[in-house]
Structures are given as structure tokens and as C-alpha cells.
Structure 1
């Protein structure tokens, strides 16, 4: 188990990640042109052995806009000039994304408005009514 998987309460998903490196774009001068510092990961959700069917369904639904047609999640990092730092960054962001996606959404419990909220709403209505009443022409009542 890695420290990240312990932090996010997830199984060791790193063994199911495919890592690819390539040349990074952006600043870095000659270093960028010579070394492969950009790290890209691919995670095949439907083929995962560590996730159960329910978790796979949740991930496919919640991350649908980020997945390929085959259900592959692709993430990359090229922030640093170091391949190792970029690898750590993309793995950390991967675990955060998976943990956030698997966290159950709390169902909202409907409640009635409190006494102070009712009074505030009525006060606003009275103020609005008074404002509109003052707009009227006083001669229209005659």
C-alpha cells in the first residue's frame, strides 16, 4: 500500500495504471527538448480487478465526460522539470479524483422554514408593498 492509497482509503490502484512518458511542452529550454518529463496515466475502469461492479458503475457515470469510449480515464502532468515529480503529481490527482467520485452524496433532508425566516419574508413583503403604494398617484383615489 502506498501513502496515497492510505490517505484516500482506496485499494492499491497504482498497479492497474499504465504509465507513459513523453516530451513536455512549455518552458524549460533545452531540457524540455531532450528529456521525457511529461507523465501520462491510463486507467481502464471496466477492466479493474480492485473495484467492484458498483464502484465501476459510479465512476463510469460520474467521470463519463473525462473517459474515452472504452472507459479509459487519461490524466497527465507536465508541471515540473522532473519526471518523478510529475509522476507523483498525476498519481496524487488521480487518487483525489477517484476518492471524490466514490464519495457518496448526502441526500438533502427537507425542513420547514423557521419562525425568524417567516417573519423576515413577511417584513420584506410589507416593505415592497409599501414602496409600491407610495408610487401611486394620490389623485387616483379621488
Structure 2
């Protein structure tokens, strides 16, 4: 009887994961958001700005994105604890900082995938062997 009572619940969870993605990734996201909320205001403002940028240009896959945001929270928690000034974290060019940060999480970036696909297509058109299969489909 217990198995039957758990079956509809498990089916609903499976359906939700198909629609929204793995629930474990959602849990990681909310844990990250709680960590950011506990940062001092200026660090929180910087992280939220980074978050907006990363949502557009960072990894799209759940596990890779979750890892990236957890690392971001680690960085800013340590920086806040050490009293590291915001400008010292970012340097003079915040875009250069975030682009370098994203290089560690390249697997999910749709921009990087499209750049590679474009570069490989041009190489193939030029008669060069890229060693990459065409994934345009």
C-alpha cells in the first residue's frame, strides 16, 4: 500500500522535472540566492549585476550554471569577509572580469557554441579539416 501512495507523488515529481528541470538544480539555485541575500549591500549589488549578465551570456545548462553561481557566491563571501574592495575584485574593466570568469564554465554557453559552429563552418567551406562534425541540425 505504501508503494501505491508514493507512486502518484513520484509521478508528479517526474513530470515537474521534465517541465522545469531537475529539482536538485532548483534547490541549489535557492541556496545560492539565500547566500547572496546575506552579503553586505555593495557586494550583493555587484553579484546581482553579475547574475544578470551571466543569465544572458553564461552557461545555459542547470548543473553547470548552478556550479558557476555557487562559485560566484564563494568568491563574494570570501571577499566580503576579507574586506576586499569591489573594484579590487573586478579591476578596471568589469566585462573583462566576467568574461574571464565565464571561461571556466564554457560547456553551456550558447554564444561560445555558436562561435565554434560558425568558425568550423567557415573552415569547412574553405576546405580545411576541422576534426569537428557538423552539428547544425
Query: Which interval holds the TM-score relative to the shorter structure?
Result: under 0.3
| TM-score normalised by length of structure 1 | 0.26
Which has more radius of gyration? 1
Which structure features the higher share of helix residues?
2
Which structure features the higher share of strand residues?
1
| TM-score normalised by length of structure 2 | 0.27
